Homo-oligomer: A and B are copies of this chain.
Amino acid sequence: MPAPPWRKSRRPAPPKRQLSQELIVETGLRILDDEGFDALSMRRVAQELDTGPASLYAHVSGKEELLELIYDRVLSEIHLPERPDPARWKEQLREYSLEVHRVFREHADVARAALANIPTGENSLRAGEFTYGLLVEAGMPPAEASLAMDRLSLYLVGDAYEGSLHWARMRAAGMSSPEEYFQAFVGQISAYYRALPAERFPYLQAHVADLTAGDGEDRFAYGLELMLDGIEARMPKKPARP
Residue A173 interfacial (CB < 8 Å)? no
Contact B219 A230 (CB under 8 A): no
Which of A147, A165, A189 has its CB near the most chain B CB atoms (within 10 A)?
Answer: A147
Q: Please encode chain A, from 191 to 214, with 1 for each CB lying within 8 Å of some chain B CB and 0 for all others.
A: 010001000111110010011011
Contact B203 A162 (CB under 8 A): no
A196 to B126, CA, bound (A): 11
A145 to B132, CA, bound (A): 31
Residue A34 interfacial (CB < 8 Å)? no
Contact A207 B148 (CB under 8 A): no
Q: A133 — which chain B residues lie within 8 A by C-beta?
A: 202-203
With both beta carbons as reference points, the residue of chain B lying nearest to A116 in the complex is identified as B165
- Say how far A88's CB is from chain B's closest CB, in angstroms: 17
With both beta carbons as reference points, the residue of chain B lying nearest to A207 in the complex is identified as B142
Contact B151 A204 (CB under 8 A): no
Residue A233 interfacial (CB < 8 Å)? yes
Which of A120, A125, A145, A158 has its CB near the most chain B CB atoms (within 10 A)?
Answer: A158
Residue A129 interfacial (CB < 8 Å)? yes
**Would A192 and B120 be within 8 Å (CB), given that A151-B219, A219-B150, A230-B227 are in contact?**
yes
Contact A146 B207 (CB under 8 A): yes
Q: Please encode chain A, from 111 to 142, with 1 for each CB lying within 8 Å of some chain B CB and 0 for all others.
A: 00001101010000100110011001000001
Contact B115 A222 (CB under 8 A): no
A128 to B86, CA, bound (A): 39
Residue A98 interfacial (CB < 8 Å)? no
Contact A226 B231 (CB under 8 A): yes
Residue A23 interfacial (CB < 8 Å)? no
Binding site for B on A (CB under 8 A): 115-116, 118, 120, 125, 128-129, 132-133, 136, 142-148, 150-151, 154-155, 157-159, 161-162, 165, 189, 192, 196, 200-204, 207, 210-211, 213-214, 218-219, 222-223, 225-231, 233-234
6 nearest A-B pairs in the assembled complex, by CB-CB distance:
A158-B158, A226-B230, A151-B223, A133-B203, A230-B230, A142-B210
Query: What are 22 inter-chain pairs, A to B, with CB distance below 8 A?
Result: A115-B161, A115-B165, A116-B165, A120-B192, A129-B200, A132-B203, A132-B207, A136-B203, A136-B207, A143-B214, A144-B222, A145-B210, A146-B211, A147-B219, A147-B222, A148-B222, A148-B226, A150-B219, A157-B158, A226-B230, A226-B231, A230-B233
